[in-house]
Structure 1
Amino acid sequence: MRNLSACEQLVKEAIKGDDSAFLQLIQLYKIDLYKTALSFLRSEEEALEAIQEVTYRAYKSIRTVRDASYFKTWLIRIMINYCNDQLKKEKRVVFSEEILSLQGTSENYNEMELKDAMLGLDERSQEIITLKYFQDMKIKDIALTLQCPEGTVKTWLNKALKALRNKLEGNGGDQRV
């Protein structure tokens, strides 16, 4: 992994119009973008399409980045907005091929139960849990991404986890979240 100053330098070069620097940044963060998209869209094909669209959107608006140290946060925010827009457009429950082809093992069942419970949460709760546990973001970084105070993120996360726990227990699950 690159040190922060090297990434910040790439961001500054990309803002000035260096396409090569922009492509290096996308390459650096493509796994984070993919994991975020997959956690929202639940489909590998849709996640890959999301990366293409978000790359295009980021390229078009790279000059709007104010602080190079928050480039990753800015990029993830674009992905979250794109995914939420897609989910709103479709207004449907998305079942990935992975879920449909489960073999029935208890590990797969627990994963399916967790994904199903996540789909039952409100948009903000899904977003907070995804950022915290699927992206391994710190509360401070989530607050920056969502542009709200850290205390608010903690409150939302607490409520989201409680709602998720209730959904899992309501489904007969004995998992602890």
Structure 2
Amino acid sequence: MGTEQLVKKAIKGNDDAFLQLIQTYKVDLYKTALSFLRSEEEALEAIQEVTYRAYKGIRKIKEASYFKTWLIRIMINYCNDQLKSRKRVILNDEMLSSLGVSENHTEMELKDAMLGLDEKSREILTLKYFHDLKIKDIADTMQCPEGTVKTWLNKALKALREKLEEKGGNVNV
């Protein structure tokens, strides 16, 4: 059975279909949570909370083909709320290398630089470089035009470069 059919059944109240969908996307949810929260325990807790929120809100989905985007958006919002409450930004080694940060910059410098960025910039950099999402998918997730995502991404990268240059050294971002 296709994903869209499962989504349509879940919207109509089929719990088994909803559970199948969560099983299908649990790895994506986990990776998203881990990239933001940087703790296995917190990521697992986030999956539980997001599953609950998705279950409560499943009937709000208008387009079955956007289920994954909708689910990831719930996770991102949850993680951002958690980070706001802790007032810190989390990065992982995979994201650092995928951003192409020069070896002259330590992980701490990059964390500091990311902390200096606005929430939208941190989010877009995470989606693009950690999750390797295409511009179109980021636009769907953030519910904005692709051109806007490209502009935000360029501004986020420029701001990150500037923050890192303040720390000194060459930047490969």
Q: Where on the TM-score scale, by shorter chain, does this alignment land: which range?
A: 0.7 to 0.9
2:89–2:111 Cα contact (<8 Å) kept: no
In 1, the alpha carbon distance for the partners of 2:157 and 2:28 equals 22
Q: What is the SS of the residue equivalent to 1:148? A: coil
Say if 2:152 is the partner of 1:149: no
Q: What is the SS of the residue equivalent to 1:151? A: helix
Query: Percent of pairs identical after alignment?
Result: 79
2:36–2:90 Cα contact (<8 Å) kept: no
Structure 2 partner of 1:138: 134
Q: What is the SS of the residue equivalent to 1:17? A: coil
Against the structure 1 CA distance between its residues 22 and 173, is the aligned structure 2 distance closer, same or farther, given a 3 Å change threshold? farther
Deviation at 1:49?
A: 1.1
In 2, the alpha carbon distance for the partners of 1:87 and 1:93 equals 6
Instruction: Give the partner amino acid of 2:9.
Output: E
Deviates more, 1:45-54 or 1:5-14: 5-14
Deviation at 1:119?
A: 2.9
Structure 2 partner of 1:47: 43
Q: Describe the superposition over 1:66-98 as per-residue Cα deviations: whole angstroms up to 9, x where unpaired.
A: 1110000000111111112222223x32669x9
Q: 2:54 aligns with which of 55, 58, 63?
A: 58
Structure 2 partner of 1:27: 23
Deviates more, 1:22-31 or 1:71-80: 22-31
Q: Which runs of 5+ in 2 are unaligned?
A: 94-101
1:43–1:95 Cα contact (<8 Å) kept: no
Deviation at 1:44?
A: 2.2
Q: What is the SS of the residue equivalent to 2:2? A: helix
Against the structure 1 CA distance between its residues 18 and 173, is the aligned structure 2 distance closer, same or farther, given a 3 Å change threshold? farther
Structure 1 partner of 2:97: none
Q: Which runs of 5+ in 1 are unaligned?
A: 99-105
Against the structure 1 CA distance between its residues 94 and 136, is the aligned structure 2 distance closer, same or farther, given a 3 Å change threshold? closer
Instruction: Give the partner amino acid of 2:166.
Output: G
Structure 1 partner of 2:78: 82
Structure 2 partner of 1:171: 167
Deviates more, 1:28-37 or 1:167-176: 167-176
Structure 2 partner of 1:102: none
2:10–2:18 Cα contact (<8 Å) kept: yes
Q: 1:93 aligns with which of 88, 95, 111?
A: 88
Q: What is the SS of the residue equivalent to 2:51? A: helix
Against the structure 1 CA distance between its residues 31 and 116, is the aligned structure 2 distance closer, same or farther, given a 3 Å change threshold? farther
Deviation at 1:14?
A: 1.2
In 2, the alpha carbon distance for the partners of 1:142 and 1:40 equals 16
Deviation at 1:42?
A: 2.4
In 1, the alpha carbon distance for the partners of 2:7 and 2:169 equals 45
Instruction: Give the partner amino acid of 1:16.
Output: K
Against the structure 1 CA distance between its residues 95 and 126, is the aligned structure 2 distance closer, same or farther, given a 3 Å change threshold? closer
Instruction: Give the partner amino acid of 2:73.
Output: R
